[in-house]
Structure 1
């Protein structure tokens, strides 16, 4: 699915700020010092949680209608939207750190020549996989 809309419960506590939970998604929780920050963090938490569920092949539950969500006395409910094509694209472009092993003599020569290891490795992998920069594979 490309778009999800889930209810989020925002609670104010003894301390300043908001705690945000998603009743339909156990473990999806975040917080923010201001309402604006809490809304932003809620969207990010929802996106990452749903992305992780998709990657793991987990079934994503149907959201509870907001009017049926129990709201604590010091809280309120609102809906948060996750547009997954943007999330998937952002995650596909995310840099990942890899550890490589080279003989010391080769590493020393490459460093002396100021070779950018990451750039060279990316270019070599793209060449090996016949990836054209103008035509990126879909995931």
Structure 2
């Protein structure tokens, strides 16, 4: 079993169309998929385009019924286009989304006595980190 993938992970594999471009904007790949109308992303390399496509597909399918996979053998491609199969681990994507939401920071104003503010500043203490750690301990 591949590390990081569990037997119960929901893995989708969709064929996508990679259109390679060389123009005034540089060299890049635009990714679309007839399976997922409206999904468009891009990357400056094939690897970056795959990474962006994984997130774009997962974002488009978040909370939606997963569309059936079409047979790309029937797709008509232009000279600069190729078919690339993109695997999307929806379970992992949801875990990462939840972690990102958990780790998202927000600005809060707190009031402390002036002497504590000055002492923390002199000692190089990150007051936000201390407050976060104290709240995590208190709420555990």
Q: Distance in 2 between matches of 1:51 and 1:19?
A: 17
Summarize the alignment of residues 127-138 of structure 1 with structure 2, pairs less than 5 Å apart: 127-130=137-140
Asked if the contact 1:43/1:81 (under 8 Å) is kept, the reply is: no
Other-structure match for 1:25? 36
Equivalent-residue separation in structure 1 for 2:36 and 2:81 (angstroms): 18
| Residue pair 1:12, 1:18 contacting (<8 A) in 2 also | yes
Contact 1:47 1:84 in 2 (8 A): no
- Say which one has the larger Rg: 2
Tell me by how many angstroms 1:49 deviates. 4.0
Kindly indicate which of the two structures has a greater share of residues assigned to strand: 2
| Cα displacement (A) at 1:21 | 1.3
Q: Does 1:114 align with 2:124?
A: yes
For the structure 1 residues 4 and 98, does the alpha-carbon distance in structure 2 shift closer, same or farther, using more than 3 Å as the test? same
Q: How far is the alpha carbon of 1:79 from its aligned partner?
A: 0.8
Which secondary structure state, in structure 2, belongs to the residue aligned with residue 17 of structure 1? strand
The size of the alignment, in residue pairs, is 125
What is the TM-score normalised by the length of structure 1?
0.65
Is the contact between residue 69 and residue 77 of structure 1 (CA under 8 Å) also seen in structure 2?
Answer: no
Instruction: Give 3-state SS (helix, strand or coil) of 2:86's partner.
Output: strand
Report the RMSD for the aligned CA atoms in angstroms.
3.0
In the alignment, which residue of structure 1 is the partner of 2:4?
none
Structure 2 vs 1, CA of residues 41 and 13 (structure 1 numbering), >3 Å: closer, same or farther? closer
What are the within-5 Å matches in structure 2 for residues 5-84 of structure 1? Answer: 5-15=13-23, 16-33=27-44, 37-51=45-59, 53-54=61-62, 57-84=63-90
Cα distance in 2 for residues equivalent to 1:118 and 1:93? 19
CA offset at residue 78 of structure 1?
Answer: 1.9
